[in-house]
A and B are shown apart, each in its own frame.
Chain A
Amino acid sequence: MTATPARIECTINGEPRALEGHPMSRLLDALRAAGLTGTKEGCGEGECGACAVLLDGTLVNSCLTPLAHASRAAITTIEGLAIREQLHAVQQSFLECGGAQCGICTPGMVLAAVDLLRRVPNPTEDDVRAGLAGNLCRCTGYMRIFAAVLDACRRMPATNAER
């Protein structure tokens, strides 16, 4: 694409940032070019969810999100969940329950779990299954992931759920 790149002002993980790129280019590429490589590309067509991020509190596949949509938005990527070395409750539960194996679906999966627990603070296993249906994992068979999300729900203080 030869069009002049735009400069998109937004907030990423609480910090004001500017992303560069064509307004219709993929948010995924702009995030990765800005050094946020925790956001992964698995399929490039919105099927696998590895590139999921929170955009103004909504879970989106960044491979299908035009960069223009990030303008003045607040974005949370996987890099923004832990506070220094203190893992988010969902991350800690994934670690302890075996929810991450190869790790490539993990950033999107963790963000989907965070999104789910905000919407449904006390989910049943069926809620968890439905909440993660847009995120594919080839390693775990999802069982340890379900266990991790339910475990996170138990350990999550109310304030954490709002983050």
Chain B
Amino acid sequence: MATGVGQPALRREGRAKLTGRALYVDDVAPAGLLHGTTIRSPAPRGTIRGIRFDPSIDWSEYTIVTAADIPGANVVKLITEDQPYLASGEVHHAEEPVALVAHPDPMRAAAARRHITIDIDPLPAVLSMDDADEVFKAYTVRKGDVDAAFADPTLVVVHGEYSTGAQEQLYIEPNGMIAVFDADTGVTVWGSMQCPYYIHGALAALLNVPDTRVRVVQMETGGGFGGKEEYPTVIAGHAALLAWKSGRPVKMIYGRAEDMAATTKRHPSRTRHRTAVTRDGRLVAMDIDFLIDGGAYCTLSPVVLSRGTIHAAGPYDCPNVRVQGRAVRTNVPPNGAFRGFGAPQSIFALERHMDRIAATLDIDPAELRRRNFVHTGDTLAVGQTIREPVDMDGLLSRALELSDYDAKRREFARANPSAAVRKGVGLATFMHGAGFTGSGEVHLSSVVAVEGTPEGSVRVLAASTEIGQGTNTIFSQIAAETLGVDIDDIEIAQPDTAVVPDSGPTVASRTCMVVGKLVESASAGVRRILVDSGYLPASYTRAQFRDACERYVARFGSLRSTSRYSPPPNVQWDDETYTGDAYGTYAWAAYVAEVSVDLRTWQAHVDDFVAVQEVGRVINPTLAQGQIEGGVAQAIGWALYEEVVWREGRMANAQMTNYIMPTSMDLPAIRVQFEEVPYPGGPGGAKGIGELPMDGAAPAIFNAVAHATGLDPRDLPLTPERIMALWNAR
């Protein structure tokens, strides 16, 4: 079986998942377990007057924790320390945790919710970002002189305002944690998570124990999509508090409704564009205002804003650009990480706007983009000069060809006027930066270790989690390729902070490109040790490697190589001026959507989808294809189906019954093509891939609906109600 880089190696943990043997957090139950429940604020904002416990219940059976019990700092450690684990004094959003209870019987634990009342004196709540006046963070990206450029009267100016709604990550496994506290050894949590070391750092402060008395172990995790980046820290903290107070193991598993209503979502956005363009379609100035709703606490909003702001001007070469980004505070549950991390929002606005510019100038949308693409040597708005080969023209040509774009545009234009079902085709061209923004990777300073085992195999130690995207498999392939051995010779250590070094969070399309590169270099280190010590000849067989590894470990006790991140040469970023190489590199893409819009039901449906991208070298074609298809599916859901309905600051449709994600009946064939241009900074030439497909599908679909109907949709999701309203307002 071929298992090196570029081969469709089988998912390492696939067999366990397919036979039901893989263990997720709710599949284990330590002896003496209590079940924890969170008591939450019913109001979006107010002062807590008191917590009432129904006297008909025997509360001595329960462990109860409120803010007053917390032994350490009552603040979730993240960017800004503003969010308490348990509110006291004031609540800032509905569903905010106020108290915790635990009981040996899960039914009684859950029932406690109905017998505890939080009395709140309401305060005025900000429930829309238009009404918000508190700013978590603001960024400005500047290039050239935008105001001077707009003064040229020969230019055409196109305005547009675009909005996107919240989106629920909707991993099929709800959040969950188990915590055990022991006075001697400290606290251990097991759970569903993306970032074990985020939790590790946070629990020490919460429980006021040293780092050495905190251990965090990732269980098999049933999807994340960003939704298990930061919120699991809150749940881990809650479970740990109950375990600390009760002295017993505590399990907290969120029900679906609780998970949807209380945890983070994709930031809603509003983007305003003002663009000056020549009559023949050259972008001269882009003035962009990008606003996102952070919710009640800061969480990761500044970083989401940063990525959205940097991606707002797209893969275009424009001499004058100003992007002003703001993340504001409202009284809805905090929004947070979700695949794409701000970029899907700003790219949606830009790519819909590009089609409106094309319509204004009467230029084909593909041709308008061709006249403005960045090329190698051009400088993006943020001040990053593109040094690697980039061929947006080529990607676009391939996507148009595969989708039969030109013929379909002509055919649909001819057939549509008399049809009850209108058809259209639309495109989007875009990029996504891989890894942390700016100096983020330097600050993370991630570490990976690779070690030989006494049996002669090799073990990769990293905190990067397998959440379905294929970490276990690609790390195995990278290590096997580097060492010249078989994938079966490679083991991946379970992410456990007592065992693995901090390779950083599993986010930002960084696991393959950044952490995978560390796996590659640490693996090379193991080989070097064996060769330099004379245990292994320079060229060897798999059997010789195993033998050398086994003998070396027997002789010296251990064989271990660690690798720490250092930035690629020439990558410069200035935090003060917010300019420079925002990302080590970008993945580039051109997507085309074909839609039909039924004028009787007002339903838009995607009939065909073509996704062409350049993500460096593809490590595993099956997994890579699965990443793109899954991301496009999630973006189709965001574009057409997934609507969070708010009522007084609470999610009114916190159920899979009425929050509608795509089913097997709703999706088109998703046709995925890769152009492989090896990137020297990534393992085997690979770049990041996970978030890219979330960026381009929604604007391609909106542009296709505009083509089909002649309407001008600008607000996402594009539900039948919205299409009907637009049609009736023609």
A residues apposed to B, CB below 8 Å = 1, 32, 36-45, 47-48, 50, 77-79, 81-82, 87, 91, 94-98, 100-107, 110, 128-130, 132-133, 135-146
The minimal Cβ–Cβ distance linking A5 to chain B, given in whole angstroms, is 13
* Chain A residue with the shortest CB-CB distance to B16: A103
Report Cα–Cα, A162/B453, bound state, in Å. Answer: 44
Question: Do residues A130 and B629 form an inter-chain contact, with CB atoms below 8 A?
Answer: no
Provide the residues of chain A in CB contact with B539, threshold 8 Å: none
In the complex the two chains form, is B20's CB within 8 Å of A136's CB?
A: no
| Pair A78/B468 contact, Cβ less than 8 Å | no
Residues of A within 8 A of B170 (CB): 138
| Cα separation A141 to B222 with both chains bound (whole Å) | 15
Quote the shortest CB–CB distance from A32 to chain B (angstroms).
8
> Taking the nearest CB of chain B, how far is it from the CB of A64, in angstroms?
12
A44 x B173 contact (CB < 8 A):
no
Report the nearest B residue to A96, measured CB to CB: B10
Whether A95 contacts B15 in the complex (CB less than 8 A), given A37-B23, A102-B467, comes out as yes
Name A38's closest neighbour in chain B (CB-CB): B20
Contact pick for B667, options A95, A96, A106, A141, CB 8 Å: A141
The A-contacting residues of B in range 209-249, CB under 8 angstroms, are: 220-225
Closest Cβ neighbor of B14 among chain A residues: A95
List 10 interface pairs A-B (beta carbons < 8 Å), by A numbering.
A1-B107, A41-B26, A43-B656, A48-B172, A95-B18, A101-B11, A102-B173, A103-B220, A137-B172, A142-B664
Q: Are A136 and B630 in contact (CB-based, < 8 A)?
A: no
Q: In the complex where A42-B173, A47-B656, A100-B11 touch, is A143 in contact with B629 (Cβ < 8 A)?
A: yes
B622-655 to A contact mask, C-beta < 8 Å, 1/0: 1101100111111000000000000000000001
Q: What residue in chain A is nearest B171 (Cβ atoms)?
A: A138
Are B656 and A128 in contact, with the CB atoms below 8 A? no
Can you add 11 more A-B contacts, CB < 8 Å, to A102-B221, A136-B656? A43-B655, A45-B656, A78-B20, A91-B19, A100-B17, A103-B222, A104-B172, A136-B663, A138-B223, A142-B629, A145-B664
Bound together, the chains give a CA A36 to CA B21 distance in angstroms of 9
Is B13 interfacial (CB-CB < 8 Å)?
Answer: yes
A31 → chain B, closest Cβ, in Å? 11
Measured between alpha carbons, how far is A88 from B225 in the docked complex, in Å?
30
Complex formed: what's the CA distance from A7 to B526 in Å?
Answer: 57
Given A106-B18, A136-B663, A139-B468, decide whether A42 and B657 contact each other with a Cβ distance below 8 A: no
Q: Give min CB distance, B61 to chain A, whole Å.
A: 14
Question: In the complex, are the beta carbons of A101 and B655 less than 8 A apart?
Answer: no
B598-628 CB mask vs A (1 if < 8 Å, else 0) is 0000000000000000000000001101100
User: 5 smallest A-B Cβ distances: which pairs?
Assistant: A38-B20, A102-B468, A104-B222, A103-B17, A141-B633
CB distance from A2 to the nearest CB of B (A): 10
Docked Cα-Cα span, A128 to B21, in Å, equals 26
CB-nearest residue of chain A relative to B225?
A138
B interface size (C-beta, 8 A): 57
Are A98 and B623 CB-contacts (below 8 A) given A138-B630, A140-B630? Answer: yes
A38 to B21, CA, bound (A): 6
A47, A48, A81: the one contacting B19 at CB < 8 Å is A81
> Which residues in A have their C-beta under 8 angstroms from that of B467?
102
Known contacts A98-B11, A101-B630, A104-B24; A138 and B172 CB within 8 A of each other: yes
Interface presence of B571 (CB below 8 A): no
Q: A101-B626, A129-B665 are in contact. Are A87 and B19 (CB under 8 A)?
A: yes
Chain B residues lying within 8 Å of A135, measured Cβ to Cβ, are 664
B18/A94 in contact, CB under 8 A:
yes
Report if B22 contacts A (CB, 8 A). Answer: yes
Chain A contacts for B27, CB-based, 8 A: 32, 37
B664 — which chain A residues lie within 8 A by C-beta? 128-130, 132-133, 135, 137, 142, 145-146
Query: In whole angstroms, how far apart are the Cα atoms of A48 and B14 in the complex?
Result: 21
A143 (CB) vs chain B CBs: closest residue: B629
B669, CB-defined interface residue at 8 Å: yes
Give the complex CA separation of A97 and B223 in angstroms.
19
Question: Is B125's beta carbon under 8 Å from chain A?
Answer: no
B172/A50 in contact, CB under 8 A? yes
- Please name all residues of chain A whose beta carbon is closer than 8 Å to the beta carbon of B470 when the two chains form the complex: 101
**Which chain B positions have C-beta within 8 A of A107?**
20
Q: Is A141 touching B22 in the complex (CB atoms < 8 A)? A: no
Residues on the A chain within 8 Å of B17, using CB: 100, 103, 106
Q: Write out, one digit per residue, whether chain B residues 1-44 have a CB within 8 A of any chain A CB (1) or not (0).
A: 00000001011011111111111101100000000000000000
Which of A43, A138, A141 neighbours the largest number of chain B CB atoms within 10 Å of its CB? A141
Residues from chain B with Cβ under 8 Å of A43 in the complex:
256, 655-656
Nearest chain A CB to B178's CB is how many angstroms away?
A: 14
Q: Known contacts A38-B20, A128-B664; is A139 also within 8 Å of B223 by CB?
A: yes
Tell me the complex Cα distance, A44–B467, Å.
22
Interface-central residue, A39, A40, A103, by most chain B CB under 10 Å: A103
